Chain A
Amino acid sequence: MTTVDAAPAAGKQVFERPHVFVEEGTPWCQGCGYGAWSRIIIEEIERANPAKLVATADIACLEYMHEIIPGDITIALHGRSVSTVRGMKMAQPQALAMAFQGDGGMLNEGLNEVIHAAASGQNILVILGNNGVFGDTGGQYTMGAPLGLRTPTSPGGRDARVNGTSIPLAEMLALLPGAAFVGRISTHDPAYVYRGQRILRKAIEANMAGAGFTFVECLTTCPTGWRMTPVEAVKYHEEVMLKERPVGIIKDWDPATHLAVEPALPKLS
Chain B
Amino acid sequence: MAIILEKKPAAVKNPARVIIDEKKCKGCDLCVYYCPQETLALSKTIGARGYPVAIVVQDNCTGCQECARVCPDVCIDIFR
A binding-site residues for B, Cβ under 8 Å: 2-4, 6-7, 9-18, 21-22, 25-26, 28-36, 38-39, 187-194, 223, 229-231, 234, 238
A30 to B27, CA, bound (A): 7
Once the chains bind, are B19 and A6 in contact (CB under 8 Å)?
Answer: yes
In the complex formed, the residue of B with least CB distance to A187 is B70
Please give the residue numbers on chain B whose beta carbons come within 8 Å of chain A beta carbons, in ascending order: 1-3, 14, 16-17, 19-24, 26-30, 33-34, 51, 63, 65-80
* Residue contact B79 to A13, C-beta cutoff 8 Å: yes
Q: Which 6 residue pairs across A and B have the least CB separation, nearest first?
A: A35-B72, A31-B28, A15-B78, A25-B24, A21-B74, A230-B28
- Supposing A14-B80, A229-B29 touch, asked if A193 and B72 sit within 8 A by C-beta, the answer is no
Given A22-B21, A36-B71, A231-B30: A190 and B66 interface contact (C-beta under 8 Å):
yes
Check if A25 sits within 8 Å of B73, measured CB to CB: yes
Are A192 and B2 closer than 8 Å at their CB atoms?
yes
Residues of A within 8 Å of B65, CB to CB, are 14-15, 190
Question: Judging by beta carbons under 8 Å apart, are A15 and B68 in contact?
Answer: yes
**Taking the nearest CB of chain B, how far is it from the CB of A31, in angstroms?**
4
Task: Check B74 against A35 for contact (C-beta < 8 Å).
Answer: yes
Instruction: Say yes or no: A14 contacts B28, CB within 8 Å.
Output: no
Cβ-defined contact, A191 with B2, below 8 A: yes
B21 partner, pick from A4, A193, A223, beta carbons under 8 A: A4
Which residues of B have CB within 8 Å of A28? 72
Contact flag A36-B72 (CB < 8 Å), given A11-B17, A30-B51: yes
CA distance A96 to B19 in the complex (A): 34
Chain A nearest CB from B27 CB (Å) reads 7
* Inter-chain contact A238/B3, CB cutoff 8 Å: yes
Question: Which residues of the partner chain B approach A35 to less than 8 Å between Cβ atoms?
Answer: 71-74
Instruction: Look across to chain B and name the residue whose beta carbon is closest to the beta carbon of A196.
Output: B69
Assess whether A189 is in contact with B17, with CB atoms less than 8 Å apart: no
> Given A193-B69, A230-B72 in contact, is the A7-B79 Cβ separation under 8 Å?
yes
Residues of A within 8 A of B63 (CB): 14
A39 and B30 contact, CB distance less than 8 A: no
Return the chain B residue nearest A24 by Cβ. B24
B72 touches A25 (CB 8 A): no
Chain A neighbourhood of B28, CB < 8 A: 30-31, 223, 230-231
Find out whether the CB atom of B21 lies under 8 angstroms from the CB atom of A31. no
Q: List 20 A-B contacts (CB under 8 A).
A: A2-B19, A14-B65, A14-B78, A15-B76, A17-B75, A22-B21, A25-B24, A25-B73, A26-B73, A28-B72, A29-B26, A30-B51, A34-B72, A36-B74, A187-B70, A191-B2, A229-B29, A230-B28, A230-B72, A234-B30
Using CB atoms, name the residue of chain A closest to B25.
Answer: A25
> Which residues on B sit within 8 Å (CB–CB) of A187?
70
A164 to B2, CA, bound (A): 29
Flag if B19 contacts A238 (CB, 8 Å): no
Do B29 and A231 touch across chains, with their CB atoms under 8 A apart? yes
A27 vs chain B, min Cβ distance (A): 10
